[in-house]
Chain A
Amino acid sequence: MKILLLVPVLLAAVTLPKPAPQPIAGEHDWTVDSVHSTCVFRVKMHGDAAVFLGMFDTVEGAITLDPTKPADGKIAITIPVDSVHTHDAKRDGHLKGPDFFSAKENPTIEFHSTKIEKKGDSTFAVTGDLAMAGKSHSVTVQVNRIGEGDFYGKRVGWETEFSIKRSDYGMTYGMDKNALGDEVKLMVAIETVQAK
Chain B
Amino acid sequence: MELGQVLTAALWTLPGAALALLLAALFGGRIVPLAAAAGMYLTYGLVRGWPAWPHELWTSPNATEWLLWSVVGAAVLALCETLGLWRARVAVLFALPAAGGAAWLVLQKIVARWTPGERWLSLCGVALAGAVAMIALRKLWTGRASAALPAIVLAMALTFDAMLLGIGHTGLMAQMAGTLSAAICMALVPSLWGRSLVFTPANATWVGLAHVLFLVTGVRIADVQWPAAVLAGVAPVLPLLAMSLATRRPALWVAFAVSIAAVAGIAAVLVQSGY
- Of the 9-residue stretches A10-18, A94-102, A115-123, A139-147, which lies at the interface with chain B? A94-102
The prevalent SS among residues of A at the interface is loop
Count of chain B residues with a beta carbon within 8 Å of a chain A beta carbon: 22
* Nearest A residue to B112, CB-CB: A105
CB distance from B226 to the nearest CB of A (A): 14
Q: How far is the CA of A176 from the CA of B45 in the complex (A)?
A: 12
**CB distance A98 to B110 under 8 Å?**
no
A61 CB-CB contact with B under 8 Å: no
- Of the 9-residue stretches B75-83, B170-178, B180-188, which lies at the interface with chain A? B170-178
A90 CB-CB contact with B under 8 Å: yes
Interface flags for A81-98 (1: CB within 8 Å of B; 0: not) read: 000000000100110111
Q: Which residues of B contact A (CB under 8 A)?
A: 1, 12, 47-49, 60-64, 109-110, 168-173, 220-223
Count of chain A residues with a beta carbon within 8 Å of a chain B beta carbon: 18
**CB distance B48 to A134 under 8 Å?**
no
Q: A172-B48, A173-B48 are in contact. Are A97 and B223 (CB under 8 A)?
A: yes
* Nearest A residue to B12, CB-CB: A176
Per a CB cutoff under 8 Å, which of B61, B110, B169, B172 touches A93? B169
Chain A residues near B110 (CB-CB < 8 A): 104-105
Q: A172-B49, A173-B47 are in contact. Are A102 and B64 (CB under 8 A)?
A: yes
Q: Which residues of A contact B (CB under 8 A)?
A: 90, 93-94, 96-99, 102, 104-106, 134-135, 167, 170, 172-173, 176
Q: A98-B64, A98-B221, A98-B222 are in contact. Are A105 and B109 (CB under 8 A)?
A: yes
Chain A residues near B1 (CB-CB < 8 A): 90
Q: How far is the CA of A172 from the CA of B60 in the complex (A)?
A: 18
**CB distance B172 to A105 under 8 Å?**
no
Chain B residues near A104 (CB-CB < 8 A): 110, 220-221
Q: How far is the CA of A164 from the CA of B254 in the complex (A)?
A: 55
